[in-house]
Chain A
Amino acid sequence: MRVVVADDSTLLREGVVRLLEEAGLEVVGQAADAEDLLRKVRAHKPDVAVVDVRMPPTHTDEGLRAAREIRAELPEVSVLVLSQYVEVAYARELLAESAEGLGYLLKDRVADVGTLTEAVRRVGEGGSALDPEVVSQMLGRQRRDDPLAELTPREREVLGLMAEGRSNASIAAELVVSERAVEKHVTGIFAKLELTASGEDHRRVLAVLRFLDRDA
């Protein structure tokens, strides 16, 4: 899997590159700002672009804008956005239309090799990766007449992992249960929340996010 990494901090960028290379991914380009990133993405057509949200010149949301531009211009290139802060607003914006080949991860995750490389792989295969922090914030938001109150603790866990973009197999592995058990939970959750089940993981992410977001 071929990757381009964009981050204006050399220290962090090289750290990410090293981690990805150790995990067997091929880093074909590095960029220090959004313009550089777009140039390298167009040139290398990688499977995934790993992009920091804040980059020169304004250090605000260049990464997010570049991500949208890449998805629009080169749909075959997936984007994983790394953010200093968990902002549900950014996640919502990024995944407004589609969760396919898109990820939003807290930057801290680079310290956790497994989480980062798994997210890169998942996004590279057209799936989604939403940071557990974002998901737990959305799940944990205090509501009146909480529709999630009906879910069992296990179902809540499964819902959270679904929202992160995990597949049934991945959820089963995480919770140490069988895939069939996960499927049963998923059906139960969709029935309770009155959602239409969908086969593809990235569509499922969107349905779950819409649901979690609906009265925000």
Chain B
Amino acid sequence: MSGLRRALAALGLLAFLVGALTAALILTSDHASPRGLLLALVLAAGWSFAFTGLYAWDRRPGNNIGLLMTAVGFTWFFQGLTASNNSWIFAIGVLGQTLPFAILVHLLVTFPSGRLHTRLQVVAVSLAYLATGPLQLVWALFTDPTAQSECTGCPENPVLLEPEGVAEVVNAFQVVGGCASIAIAIGLLYRNWRRSSATERRVLTPVLATGGTAFSILLVQLIAGELGASETFKSVAFVASVAIFACLPFAFLLGLLRSRIGRAEEVSTALTAENEQLTAELEAKVEELRASRHRIVEAGYAERRRVERDLHDGAQQRLMALTMTLRLAREKLDADPAASAELLDEAMEELSAATAELREFARGIHPVVLSDRGLAAALGGLAERSPVPVEIAAAPGERLPMPVESAAYFVVAESLTNVARYAGAELATVRVERRDGTLEVEVSDDGAGGADPDGGTGLRGLADRVAALDGSLAVRSPAGEGTTVEARIPCG
């Protein structure tokens, strides 16, 4: 469990205990009335705001909405404190009981981001806090609850100040400020809703509908209280507000969970995880690249050694033998012309063998027809020379970048050599096709299969050659089902 979650759980427990305490105060109150309704209003709205707020806080830790909802829940219990028979607790309750409405205004006008952006938002929220904070304090100091008609049996104000008229003036400011704040808030909500897209409305509608109704009821209650409406009307409005305020936090929660705003932290956590994974993949790729680069360099050296050895063992030896044969022929020219002629014939045979050998050797290093005529012609040449029948099922007619053509050529050449050497096949099929910017090279045979894809430096070298072009090479060789070598080379 994270630190935040532990703290939220503790707050949840605290909310429960505060709720239980206020319930006890209400049930033992000698002035609260109607007791049942007050209990229902305080507990239903207080707990639901606190718990849904904590839940929202947990789900969207980067967003203020959860915090504000929780604050509404806790401050809501101040109303419960006014049921206390103790004059100090009662006074604290009176002081704080209007605070949740200011926080509600704050909550509604900043939903769903939880942040104040525009001047109007600031005005609405400031007015709300002014009316419920400092003005409420002044009002509370100058008000004698025992003198009020709807507060029969309320405890005395422990710090009552004179003169009496101040409270009424302050109250007038509070009502005007509160009404203005609520009106601006309703206007802002409506404007937000009008401007929002269909997706955004999915988020805003539940909050705005419930919040708008709650504010309207609040407004009606405020005005009705000032105009001296009937007790029945006040009770109906009171019950309606109990219901609507209990619903409000769920509307917030629904809207918040639908919203994408405030997901920043969640997204950033996901991004961090993704980032770590990408980094790991990248490191693996770098390692693979380093290894393949090393092998390519190694292969280059190995190739040079092979060229050197082949030239030394082949052409050079033949030419040296030839020199000796010719020298012998020259020595015998006068004494034994017949033997000399024989030696010369021998020398010529030697020479044409050396020439043929050099030619094949040069072709193995680089097939001229590939650079001159492209893949199709070069593959045709490979097929002509293959000891196993080869069917060229497809070959690209157009020219491709030289490295791509070269890699494809050597994949086919090496694969056909393997087919001839190991597969015992009747037919090899070559298919080279360009598809979606990738050259697909496939050499399959109907031979014995069972080739080891990792075995042999030939295939490994091919894989590196293909990988150097960001391509891939795969070998499938189930025993008894032939072998398929498949290369995919990006070719733009």
Contact = CB atoms under 8 A, between A and B. Distances in A.
Contact of A142 (B348, B371, B387): B387
A80 to B, nearest CB: 19
Given A108-B352, A142-B386, 9 more contacts: A60-B372, A88-B384, A89-B377, A89-B381, A93-B373, A108-B355, A137-B384, A138-B384, A216-B383
B68 interface: no
Contact of B385 (A84, A93, A137, A143): A137
A85 B368 CA distance: 8
10 contacts: A85-B362, A88-B384, A89-B369, A89-B373, A93-B373, A111-B355, A138-B384, A142-B387, A144-B427, A216-B384
A141 B384 contact: yes
Nearest to A112: B352
Contacts of A190: none
Given A142-B387, A142-B388, A144-B426, A88 B380 contact: yes
Interface of B: 348, 351-352, 355-356, 359, 362-363, 368-369, 371-373, 377-378, 380-381, 383-391, 426-427
Interface in A82-121: 84-85, 87-90, 93, 108, 111-112
A157 interface: no
A88 B348 CA distance: 26
Interface in A171-216: 216
Given A84-B368, A85-B359, A87-B369, A216 B380 contact: yes
Nearest to A58: B372
A61 interface: yes
B359 to A, nearest CB: 6
A141 B391 CA distance: 11
Contacts of B383: 141, 216
B389 A144 contact: yes
Contacts of A142: 386-390
Most chain B CB within 10 A, of A61, A84, A87, A90, is at A87
Contact of A111 (B348, B386, B426): B348
Contacts of B386: 142
Which 4 residue pairs of A and B lie closest in terms of their CB atoms, listed nearest first? Answer: A89-B377, A142-B389, A87-B369, A60-B372
B90 to A, nearest CB: 104
For chain B, what secondary structure do more than half of its interface residues adopt (helix, strand, loop), or is it mixed? Answer: helix
Contact of B372 (A61, A88, A111, A112): A61
A60 B366 CA distance: 13
A144 B369 CA distance: 26
Nearest to A88: B384
A87 B359 contact: no
B384 A84 contact: no
A111 B355 CA distance: 10
A108 B383 CA distance: 23
A88 B352 CA distance: 21
A29 B384 CA distance: 37
Contact of B369 (A90, A138, A143): A90
A93 B426 CA distance: 29
Contacts of B391: 144
B9 to A, nearest CB: 78
A61 B374 CA distance: 13
A128 to B, nearest CB: 20
Contact of B368 (A87, A111, A138): A87
Contacts of A54: 368
Contacts of B390: 142
A142 B419 CA distance: 14
Contacts of B387: 142
A111 B351 contact: yes
A160 to B, nearest CB: 15
Contacts of B351: 111
Most chain A CB within 10 A, of B368, B385, B388, B427, is at B368
Contacts of A137: 384-385
A211 B185 CA distance: 92
Contacts of A90: 369, 373
Interface string A129-153: 0000000011001111000000000
A60 B385 contact: no
Contacts of B388: 142
Contacts of A108: 352, 355-356, 359
B359 A143 contact: no
A99 B362 CA distance: 29
B276 to A, nearest CB: 52
Nearest to A140: B384
A216 B383 CA distance: 9
Nearest to B390: A142
Contact of B381 (A87, A111, A112, A143): A87
Nearest to B373: A89
A166 B378 CA distance: 28
Interface string A46-73: 0000000010000011000000000000
Contacts of A89: 369, 373, 377-378, 380-381
A216 B351 CA distance: 33
Nearest to A89: B377
Contacts of A61: 372-373
Contacts of A143: 389
Contacts of B372: 60-61
Nearest to B376: A89
A112 B345 CA distance: 11
Contacts of A141: 383-384
